[in-house]
Amino acid sequence: MTTDSSGTRREMNKQATRQAIVDAALTLLRNQGREAMTATAIAEAAGISRRTLFNYFPTVDAVLAEPLQRLLDRVVEVLAESTQELPLITAAIRALQGAGVPQLLEPVAYLGIYAEDCSHQPGGSQPNQWQNSSRDIITTIERKYPEADPFEVRIFSHVVLGAGQAAFEEWTRQLAITTGPEANAPLDISPQQIQELHSLLTHALEQLRDGFPALLTTSDSTDKDL
């Protein structure tokens, strides 16, 4: 066996273990609810030790962030392949509508709901994974448009990610999941609800493309009313 093939097999094994950890977390959340989401429980469900889990992910939060990172990686990949003649916001919309995206949304939905729920708990805190992923998108756009103003690139990247986060928050609000289930209640999200999330994400980017005409109209309110 050559060194290259050994390295490839090693990398494939690492990816398989990483996927097994994420799958285990998703299964626990579906079947047992958020109280089951501990490092020990996830490691046992994945058939590994706690030490091995922390070799792959520094925290349970990092496990929860993995599906969203994969989704954004896919969007970045499609953006990188788009033609420069296509307006960037249109390319972002097409990337979101691209092959494989709906399948990537299901784990994002389950684990994202858990993260949202934790952020509403006393003392809970959840890193903003949408904005934490901005560096990859900024780098991709800078490479594709080297003449673009770096400040404008940063604005665009954060606005797009903020729109995605707003769509997800609206979806959880409509489902009333973040305040609904008990801590030990399993989660059950239908394919239709996943499609609704996909539609909201697409709509959010389309809104950025089309602008906000309702917000630009003159308000009937006066300063005295405020």
* pLDDT tens-digit map of 107-162: 888 877 776 666 555 444 444 666 667 887 888 888 888 888 999 999 998 999 89
What's the half-sphere exposure (Cβ side, CA atoms, 13 Å) at 195?
Answer: 3
Decide if pLDDT at 169 tops 90. Answer: no
- How much is the average pLDDT of 54-58? 95
11 vs 213, more confident: 11
Decide if pLDDT at 12 tops 60. Answer: yes
Decide if pLDDT at 100 tops 50. Answer: yes
Residue found by looking up tokens 């398989």 in the block: 16
DSSP 186: P
Written as one string, the DSSP assignment of 70-124 is HHHHHHHHHHHHS-TTS-HHHHHHHHHTSTTHHHHHHHHHHHHHHHHHHHTSTT-
Average pLDDT in the chain: 81
Decide if pLDDT at 186 tops 80. Answer: no
Q: Write down the pLDDT at residue 207.
A: 94
Residue found by looking up tokens 């305040």 in the block: 179
From CA 54, how far away is CA 63, in angstroms rounded?
10
Q: Could you tell me where in the chain the CATH 1.10.10.60 domains are found? A: 8-58
Q: Which helix (H) or strand (E) holds 48?
A: none
Handedness of CA 161, 167, 170, 171 (dihedral sign): negative
In the structure encoding, which two tokens stand for residue 88, read together? 């960037």
Handedness of CA 31, 43, 38, 167 (dihedral sign): negative
For domain 60-212, give the fold: Tetracycline Repressor; domain 2 (1.10.357)
Please state whether 150 falls in left (phi above 0), alpha (psi between -120 and 50) or beta.
Answer: alpha
Whether the CB-CB separation of 177 and 117 falls below 8 Å is answered with: yes
Decide if pLDDT at 58 tops 90. Answer: yes
22 vs 132, more confident: 22
Q: Does 8-58 carry CATH code 1.10.10.60?
A: yes
Q: Could you tell me where in the chain the CATH 1.10.357 domains are found? A: 60-212
